[in-house]
């Protein structure tokens, strides 16, 4: 019987090592030169093996960065009552939030429109990272009416959960009024936060959350790493006409 092609042997070896956890999701594989030296073959043979791994979704090649083990996409619901920690835990993931910035300043025109404020009224800004199983999946930036939630920055420093911060101010429930999702390319700063190469695809979600009296309580923009998240729309978000451009 003919011996299997060398690239198939390398493909099976690397696939087995990834399955055994020798390379975790997000890890960069050795370079083509390193793999060529390890297996005693030329780069073309290694490249063919890596291509086969990419075709099965096991790895992803990022220009200028290398070949990385694929993250299993995290299913993230976009619905009327979505809570980050609860949603990820229900899906079997370990959620985490990291605070990057908390500040208070006058609302700009877009924030004022979304939050039904007069331009110049104060808002709290919250920037951070959402992680699933220790991998960054989203960068978010939210604005909240400062007069409604005066102690929110301090609450978020103690616990990065927005839901807990709202509860500390007497808001037990809130829902999503509307959401828009647009495909974008990551700029260098965003790419750094998400550990992806500049220009990689991201999904930008823009939306407003409201209280039971339909008063806006949060205007947020979230940038999801395109290869790490599958957005699941439940179809229960009401339409909303007054959306900031």
pLDDT of residue 89: 74
* Residue ranges covered by each domain of the chain: 6-69, 74-233
In the chain, which stretches have pLDDT less than 70? 1-4, 82-83, 91, 234-245
Q: Do residues 191 and 165 touch, judged by C-beta distance below 8 A?
A: no
pLDDT of residue 82: 66
| Beta strand residue intervals within the chain, DSSP E | 59-62, 66-69, 74-78, 95-106, 122-132, 135-145, 175-185, 201-210, 216-225, 229-233
Task: Give the Cα-Cα-Cα angle 145, 146, 151 (nearest 5 degrees).
Answer: 130
pLDDT of residue 20: 82
Give Cα 110 to chain centroid, integer Å: 23
The burial of 225, by beta-carbon neighbours within 10 Å (0-12 exposed, 13-18 middle, 19 or more buried), is given as buried
pLDDT of residue 100: 97
Could you tell me which CATH number the domain at 74-233 has? 3.40.1410.10
- Domain 6-69 belongs in CATH node 3.90.470.20: no
């Amino acid at each position: 019987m003919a011996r299997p092609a060398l690239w198939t042997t390398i493909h099976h070896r690397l696939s087995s090592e990834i399955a055994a956890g020798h390379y975790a999701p997000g890890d960069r594989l050795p370079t083509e030169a390193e793999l060529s030296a390890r297996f005693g073959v030329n780069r073309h043979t290694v490249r063919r093996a890596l291509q086969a791994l990419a075709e099965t979704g096991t790895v992803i090649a990022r220009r200028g960065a290398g070949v990385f083990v694929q993250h299993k996409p995290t299913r993230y619901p976009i619905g009327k009552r979505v809570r980050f920690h609860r949603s990820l835990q229900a899906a079997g993931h370990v959620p985490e939030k990291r605070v990057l910035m908390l500040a208070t300043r006058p609302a700009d025109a877009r924030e004022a429109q979304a939050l039904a404020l007069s331009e110049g009224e104060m808002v709290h800004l919250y920037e951070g990272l959402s992680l699933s199983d220790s991998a960054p999946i989203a960068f978010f930036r939210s604005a909240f009416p400062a007069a409604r939630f005066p102690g929110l920055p301090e609450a978020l420093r103690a616990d990065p959960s927005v839901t807990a911060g709202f509860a500390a101010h007497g808001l037990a429930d809130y829902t999503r009024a509307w959401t828009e999702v647009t495909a974008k390319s990551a700029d260098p700063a965003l790419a750094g936060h998400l550990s992806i190469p500049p220009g990689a695809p991201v999904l930008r979600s823009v939306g407003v959350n409201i209280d039971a009296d339909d008063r806006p309580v949060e205007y947020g923009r979230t940038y999801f790493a395109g290869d790490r998240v599958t957005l699941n729309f439940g179809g229960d978000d009401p339409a909303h006409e007054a959306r900031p451009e």
